[in-house]
Every structure is written in C-alpha cells, then in structure tokens.
C-alpha cells in the first residue's frame, strides 16, 4: 500500500509542501477534510488492491471497542487472512497491551496463537495543535507504510474521544464498526431521544461526524463507507432496539448482535486470549466451560454476519453493496450529513460551494 503524500496542507492554512512519493511509486490520493474553522491535514486514502480497512470507533468508553477489534483480528487470521492492527489510543494503549499479553501467554503456555502485525501510534507531545496533528499524521503514515501491501485486512482501534487521528481513521475506513451497549446513556453518542416517547429528537455528535466523513469520502472517490452498529452487552429487555432501528433507517447503517455481557471477555484480556481460540486446558490454562462455547458461537456468528470480503460469498456481498452505493445519488448522503449537523448545532461550511482548498485532491 502506498501512503506517501505528494501534497500536504497545513492545518493552519499554510501553503502546500511537496513531499517525495513513497517507494511504491503509485499515484497517491490526498484528502482534505474540514472540521470547524480549520483544516485537517491531507490524509491518505486506501488505494484499490490495498487492505480492507476495518475501523472500530465510538466516542463512548466501555462499549467494547478493543474487545471487538481483537476478536476481529484473530477471527480473520484464523480464516487464513493476513491481518495488521493499529492502535490509535495514545492514552490507554489497550489493543497494544492485549496483543502483547497474547505473545507472552503463548510463550508461557507453549502454544501457537495467531498474532497480527501490530503498530501503535503514541500520543503527540504537548505542543500547538497544528504541530501535534502534523506529528500524528506523520506517525500514521509511517505505520501504514510499514505495513505496505503485505496484509489483506487492517483493523484500527480508536480512542474514546474525537481526536485528529480518530477523525482521520474514519475517513479511510471501508467498514466502520461502532459497538454500542444496551443503554440510552451510550445511545446518546448516536442520538438524543424524547424521555416520554423514546423517539429520536436529535442526531448525536459522533453520528454527525460519521455522516460527514461518509459524505466527504463519497464525494472524493465514490466509495461508500459501510457503517455497522454492533449491539454489545444487550439486556433481556433490549432497551434501545426500537430507537436504534429507526435511527438505522434514517442514517443508513445496519445493526448486528455483538458480545453479550459476560465476565469471560474481561477475563481474556490478561492472557491475550479470545473466544475464538482453542477451547482446551493447554490454551486456556483451565478447563473450558459452557460459557466458553457460547462466547465462541456468538463471536463466530458476529464475524459471519459482518460479511467481510474473505471469500467468494463475502466478496459478492461487498460488490453488491458497492454497486448499490454507485447507483445511489450522492445528494442523498449529503442531505443526511447536513441534517445531522443541523440537529447537533455543529458549524457548517458557509460557502454555497466549496473552494478549491476544500475539495479532495488527487496527487499525481
């Protein structure tokens, strides 16, 4: 995968700086995203033939992002796919620690455990915003370039905050996975609801950001970011199902069942194990229980229902979604994003038409 940027725009509006293209020598696309009143850096987009990018994102902490990211990586490795992971959470470093725990446990138990190619992007130093973003962009670009075209899937775990890298990752996603617990407190990242009727009254800031990212990506290269909201830790009463179903129709995402509320998933972290690993005493360090089998079945079901392009069926499903996207007027997505921003009160572009610097650019 080529990630060298041949044009780079300063977030403070400085003039472009010419950079050398990467060794791959292919044409690199640069994307300029505008947030609030300043510009994000030009960001690399994934080229045809590059890895399928899975981004696990949600502003709400404790929704199960790292658990989902790790299980996805291991599931894909077990399917024979080449997988890389990137940890964008410079504070928690949860995915990085999870993978390191897995390496240590495999050595200790003398078992073979699949481990993805992993990269971690440290937190930027305490400098001006523009300098921090430049440093983060360079680190992200270096991480992606070091992975190259050697993998089939790239899984990105994001922080529970709207950071520069978090927004950047959403722009390069092929599939965006948003874990959500069965709670209206967590549902608030997607939408506000009327306390009496439970009807959706406003789009949440995170949902508005996703709509904006999808619109910008679509206007740039006609690619439709698939958005999947995963219901994690569902209660028997399924509190948010009705509201979530209506919001899915409004914002254009699909919903899936993820992992239930099981202590087992929290117990996996110290040893780096997942529900998809071998259910034997040698691997687990203890005798497997019925809960291990249930967790393994629900994770296998989840991965299958994602319909990732890992085989002929998954590729056909992905192609069908791409074909549908190509036939869907761009204005429809633009209207969704505009309405979402209006309902959150987020600032919008004041110009009737975007200026040249606001447009995505293709570097040659």
> Mean pLDDT throughout 122-135?
72
> Mean pLDDT throughout 291-298?
94
Q: What is the pLDDT of residue 46?
A: 46
Q: What is the pLDDT of residue 18?
A: 30
Local confidence band at 147 (pLDDT 50, 70, 90 cut-offs): confident
pTM: 0.77
The 10 Å CB-count burial string (b at 16+, else e) for 263-294 is: ebbeebbebbbbbbbeeeeebbeeeeeeebee
| pLDDT of 305 strictly over 50 | yes
Contact 182, 240 (CB under 8 A): yes
> Mean pLDDT throughout 327-342?
49
Which of 220, 99, 133, 131 has its CA nearest to residue 171?
220
Task: Find residue 230's DSSP bridge partners.
Answer: 179, 256
| pLDDT of 287 strictly over 90 | yes
H or E element, residue 186: helix 184-187
Q: What is the pLDDT of residue 195?
A: 86
Distance of CA 333 to the CA centre of its chain: 19
C-alpha 364/C-alpha 359 separation (Å) is 16
Complete domains list, the chain, with CATH = 48-344 (3.40.50.300)
Neighbours of 64 (CB within 10 A): 21
Contact 190, 245 (CB under 8 A): no
Q: What is the pLDDT of residue 122?
A: 87
Q: What is the pLDDT of residue 22?
A: 31
Average pLDDT, the chain: 76
Write the DSSP string, 240-272.
THHHHHHHHHHHT-EEEE---S-HHHHHHGGGT
User: What would the pLDDT profile of 170-197 be if each residue is shown by its tens digit?
Assistant: 999 999 999 998 878 788 788 888 888 8
User: What would the pLDDT profile of 208-235 be if each residue is shown by its tens digit?
Assistant: 999 999 998 888 777 889 999 998 876 5
Q: What is the pLDDT of residue 35?
A: 31
């Amino acid at each position: 995968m080529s990630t060298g940027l041949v044009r780079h725009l300063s977030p403070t509006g400085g003039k472009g700086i010419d950079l050398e293209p990467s060794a791959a020598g292919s044409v690199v696309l640069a994307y300029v995203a505008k947030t609030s009143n300043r510009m994000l850096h030009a960001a690399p987009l994934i080229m045809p033939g590059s890895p399928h990018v899975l981004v696990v994102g949600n502003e709400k902490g404790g929704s199960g992002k790292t658990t989902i990211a790790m299980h996805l990586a291991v599931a894909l490795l077990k399917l024979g796919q080449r997988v890389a992971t990137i940890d964008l959470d410079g504070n928690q470093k949860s995915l990085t620690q999870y993978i390191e725990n897995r390496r240590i446990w495999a050595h200790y138990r003398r078992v073979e455990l699949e481990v993805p190619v992993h990269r971690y992007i440290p937190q930027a130093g305490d400098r001006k915003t523009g300098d921090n973003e430049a440093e983060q962009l360079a680190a992200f670009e270096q991480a992606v370039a070091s992975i190259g075209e050697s993998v089939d899937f790239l899984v990105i775990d994001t922080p529970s905050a709207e950071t520069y890298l978090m927004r950047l990752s959403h722009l390069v996603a092929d599939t965006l996975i948003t874990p959500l617990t069965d709670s209206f407190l967590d549902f608030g990242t997607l939408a506000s609801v009327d306390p009496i009727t439970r009807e959706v009254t406003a789009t949440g800031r995170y949902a508005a950001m996703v709509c904006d990212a999808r619109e910008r990506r679509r206007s740039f290269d006609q690619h439709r970011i698939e958005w999947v909201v995963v219901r994690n830790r569902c209660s028997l009463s399924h509190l948010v199902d009705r509201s979530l179903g209506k919001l899915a129709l409004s914002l254009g995402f699909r919903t899936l069942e993820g992992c239930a509320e099981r202590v087992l998933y929290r117990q996996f972290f110290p040893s780096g194990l997942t529900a998809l690993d071998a259910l034997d005493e040698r691997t687990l360090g203890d005798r497997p229980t019925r809960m291990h089998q249930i967790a393994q079945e629900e994770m296998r079901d989840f991965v299958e229902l994602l319909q990732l392009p890992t085989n002929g069926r998954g590729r056909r499903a992905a192609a069908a979604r791409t074909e549908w996207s190509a036939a869907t007027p761009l204005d429809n997505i633009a209207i969704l994003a505009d309405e979402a921003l209006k309902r959150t009160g987020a600032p919008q572009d004041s110009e009737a038409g975007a200026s040249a610097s606001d447009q995505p650019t293709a570097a040659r």
